[in-house]
Every structure is written in C-alpha cells, then in structure tokens.
Structure 1
Amino acid sequence: MTTPDLDLTSAPAARAASAPGVDRTVRTAGRVLVGVLFLWAGIDKVTGWQGALQEVVAGGFPLPSVMLALTVLLQVAGGAAIVAGRFLRAGCWALAGFILLATVPYHGFWHATGAARHAELIPFMEHVCIVGGLRVVSTLETRRA
C-alpha cells in the first residue's frame, strides 16, 4: 500500500538530518569518540603501568616492558591522530591491526566452554566492532592545513 501524500524525504527532520553541516558534525563527533577510546587506553596504561605490564606478561609476549611501551605509543599516537584528523588512515589501520593481533591471544573464546566462553566472546566481538569502526573512520576526509 502506498501513500502518495506522505513524502518522508521532504520532511523538515529528514532535510535537517541530511544537511552538510549536520553530517560533518556527526562524522567529526564519531571520529573524536573513536580516537578518545585509544588515547584513554594509552594514558590508562601509563598511569597503571604495573597492572598493564602484568597483562602483557599474562599474554605471553616477549620483552613485556618493550611491548607495553610500544602499545602505549601506538594507542596515544594513533588516538591523537584520529582525534586531530591527521594521518587518519595510517592511525586507523595501525590500531586495527594492533587490535586484531592482541584480541586473539587475550580473548580466545574458542578455547573456552560454558560461561567462560561467553565471557571471552563478548570482548572479542566488541573488538571486532571497534575494528569495523576504525575502518569506517579511515575513510573520512582528513583535516586540511
């Protein structure tokens, strides 16, 4: 059934939602939120260095102090790049690769059963979603000088 007198595309809300300024604001807000996630994570590791170091050790990575320092550098630099809108593609791709490499050893839900499986599956899927968000952000225009 059609209703020819109902045109949702010309409604004021539809026009406002598709306005270039609104679109730009939404994209900028999304980009900044994604970047802040990584800035926060990197700063949190610095302020809680010993706890973060124990996590790296638990992951079985070689040279845990070096790995943690590289992780902090990547998260802070990548997050700052995303927030600033500079080196956007490189920052997003580097962080996406990092997440994929770190998620497998830390959230291997396929090795668990029952409640433990579910407890690992949720953060695994959250990280997959973050990678998806990074892919979307990587396609945004970078800031002009």
Structure 2
Amino acid sequence: MTLATTFILIGRIVFGLFFLIAGLRNFAGFKTRIPSKTNYGWDLPPPIVALGFAMQLIGGLSLVLGFWTIYGAALLIVFLVLATAMYHNLFLFHGKERDPHLYLVLVNITLAAGLLQIIGLSL
C-alpha cells in the first residue's frame, strides 16, 4: 500500500466516522429532535427525521467499511442537499440571522465536495 492510498483510506474512514457519529448522536437524542421545525415553519414528521438520521448512519458506515462506497457517498450528498434546503435556506434570513446559516451552507457544500472526491477515487 502506497502512502497516497493509506492517506485516502484514513481520510475516507474519518469522513465516514463524522457522519456515523452524527447519526448515532441524532438517534440517541431523537426525542429532543422532535418536533423538527424547518426554516419554512412546518414540522417534519418523525419518520422523515428518522430517515435522515438513517441516511447519516448508512452512508457513514459505508465509508468506514469501504462497502458500496459510491452509493454511501451519494446517499450522504442527497442528505446534505435536503438538510441544507430545509434547515439552512439563506434566502429566508437577513442580516445577522443569516450568518450561522451561511456558515452551515458552506460547511455542507464542502462536505459534499469531499464526498464527490471519494466517489471519484472509488470509480
């Protein structure tokens, strides 16, 4: 194994752990996550919230184990796009209220870009 492949492996596992830990924490605190009010003022039904947490778990586990990595990374990208649209829509906020959402949108875009790199390396 070359140094480059070792770094890629470590990076993929750490990336996967980020989502795996987030999913586990979200499920552990599920009762505190309900109701889950979106930026649009309506609550997501608990099964939909659970589906989002499951996407984090499954995608993260896929990256950690290196099993169906492309599908796991794609699932996480879908999760990030949906979560960003529902909880961090920049166009609904103004002034200082926008700042944390701008930060989280940029974080989610960066995470999605990293997942695209994982997909590219897995092809």
Q: Normalising by structure 1, what TM-score?
A: 0.76
Residue 6 of structure 1 corresponds to which residue in structure 2?
none
Tell me whether 1:112 sits opposite 2:93 in the alignment: yes
Tell me whether 1:87 sits opposite 2:76 in the alignment: no
Tell me whether 1:103 sits opposite 2:74 in the alignment: no
Alpha-carbon distance in 2 for matches of 1:40, 1:53: 19
Q: Deviations over 1:40-69 (max 9, x none)?
A: 111001111112223x2x02354x221122
Tell me whether 1:34 sits opposite 2:19 in the alignment: no
Tell me whether 1:124 sits opposite 2:105 in the alignment: yes
Alpha-carbon distance in 1 for matches of 2:43, 2:76: 18
Q: 1:75 deviation in Å?
A: 1.1
Alpha-carbon distance in 2 for matches of 1:121, 1:141: 30
Alpha-carbon distance in 2 for matches of 1:36, 1:77: 11
Alpha-carbon distance in 1 for matches of 2:30, 2:15: 23
Residue 49 of structure 2 corresponds to which residue in structure 1?
68
**Native 8 Å contact 2:56 2:79 kept in 1:** no
Q: More deviation in 32-41 or 20-29?
A: 20-29
**Bigger radius of gyration among the two:** 1
Alpha-carbon distance in 2 for matches of 1:112, 1:72: 25
2:17 aligns to what SS in structure 1? helix
* Identity over aligned pairs, percent: 26
**Native 8 Å contact 1:61 1:67 kept in 2:** no
Q: Deviations over 1:65-85 (max 9, x none)?
A: 211221222111111011111
Gaps in structure 2 of 5+ consecutive residues: none
RMSD: 1.6
